[in-house]
């Protein structure tokens, strides 16, 4: 038990402390975007289950690979919060509350939204590429998937979970999520599973870009610090030399 507790502290300690301090300081004000997303998802679920509201939600947030690209891009932002009709809505609400909430408390609301949309957009664009490749290609999709309604927060949730876990040192968790998504495709090869892998690849590239940026930033700061140190030492030597030689003027006599 002690070994397990020690591992849990090493894996999730930094993430837990960050979320806890954010919630203790600001309470629900720490996750306003998450709460708004939960409410929006619940509202869209209610509306699309009404006779008068189903087509409205489809027109505003339902994305299909057969749709024109410009239309799919316009619908993508809202599609993230439109629950899939064949899945229980409480699952989407719990995913958003937990994963979006943890991400928002750790990295802020706008970074959370950016990563969520990057992951969702990667899945949406992959569907078009996969269908163009065809069902017999290694990463292809059957043409019938072009008619599948592609909505819901699952790709965003997967992407956010991996990014936040990586950012806060929970590497085992990030790896476990990735392995689970690969296993999903191997067990049940469908559009959603492959879109999750596309989302993971997009977020992985984002993590790589952030790591390179931070490494370059640290290298630049180190070089600047070294340059500043050399300038200070050079100035000190010059000051010391002037002090040792004197000014060259005759001494002042009172």
Q: What is the pTM of this model?
A: 0.82
In a domain, 184, yes or no: yes
- Do the Cβ atoms of 152 and 87 come closer than 8 Å? yes
Residue 93 sits in which domain range? 2-214
CATH number for the domain spanning 131: value is 1.20.1540.10
- Do the Cβ atoms of 38 and 96 come closer than 8 Å? yes
In a domain, 240, yes or no: no
The pLDDT assigned to 247 comes to: 47
In a domain, 59, yes or no: yes
The pLDDT assigned to 223 comes to: 57
In a domain, 72, yes or no: yes
Please spell the DSSP secondary structure of 193-239, one letter per residue.
HHHHHHHHHHHHHHHHHHHHHHHHHHHHHHHHHHHHHHHHHHHHHHH
The pLDDT assigned to 251 comes to: 46
Number of domains in the chain: 1
Per-residue pLDDT band at 233 (split at 50, 70, 90): low
- Do the Cβ atoms of 180 and 162 come closer than 8 Å? no
In a domain, 235, yes or no: no
Minimum mean pLDDT among 51-55, 112-116, 244-248: which range? 244-248
In a domain, 202, yes or no: yes
Q: What confidence tens digit (pLDDT) does each residue in 83-113 have? A: 988 888 999 999 999 999 999 999 999 999 9
Q: What confidence tens digit (pLDDT) does each residue in 168-209 have? A: 999 999 999 999 999 988 888 788 889 999 999 999 999 998
In the predicted model, is pLDDT for residue 253 greater than 70?
no
In a domain, 51, yes or no: yes
In the predicted model, is pLDDT for residue 243 greater than 60?
no
């Amino acid at each position: 038990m002690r070994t397990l507790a020690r591992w849990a502290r090493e894996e999730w300690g930094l993430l837990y402390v960050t979320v806890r301090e954010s919630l203790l300081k600001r309470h629900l004000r720490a996750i306003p975007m998450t709460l708004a997303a939960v409410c929006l998802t619940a509202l869209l679920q209610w509306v699309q289950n009404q006779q008068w509201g189903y087509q409205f939600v489809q027109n505003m947030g339902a994305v299909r690979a057969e749709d024109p690209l410009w239309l799919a891009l316009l619908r993508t932002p809202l599609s993230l919060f439109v629950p899939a009709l064949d899945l229980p809505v409480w699952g989407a609400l719990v995913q958003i509350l937990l994963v979006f909430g943890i991400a928002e408390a750790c990295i802020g609301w706008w970074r959370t939204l950016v990563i969520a949309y990057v992951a969702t957009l990667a899945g949406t664009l992959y569907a078009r590429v996969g269908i163009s490749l065809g069902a017999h290609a290694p990463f292809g999709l059957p043409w019938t998937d072009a008619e599948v309604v592609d909505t819901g927060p699952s790709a965003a949730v997967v992407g956010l979970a991996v990014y936040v876990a990586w950012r806060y040192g929970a590497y085992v968790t990030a790896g476990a999520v990735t392995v689970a998504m690969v296993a999903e495709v191997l067990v049940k090869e469908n559009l959603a599973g492959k879109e999750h892998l596309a989302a993971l690849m997009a977020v992985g590239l984002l993590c790589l870009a952030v790591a390179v940026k931070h490494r370059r930033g640290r290298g630049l700061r180190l070089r600047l610090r070294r340059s500043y140190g050399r300038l200070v030492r050079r100035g000190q030597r010059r000051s010391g030399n002037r002090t040792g030689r004197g000014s060259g003027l005759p001494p002042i006599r009172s």
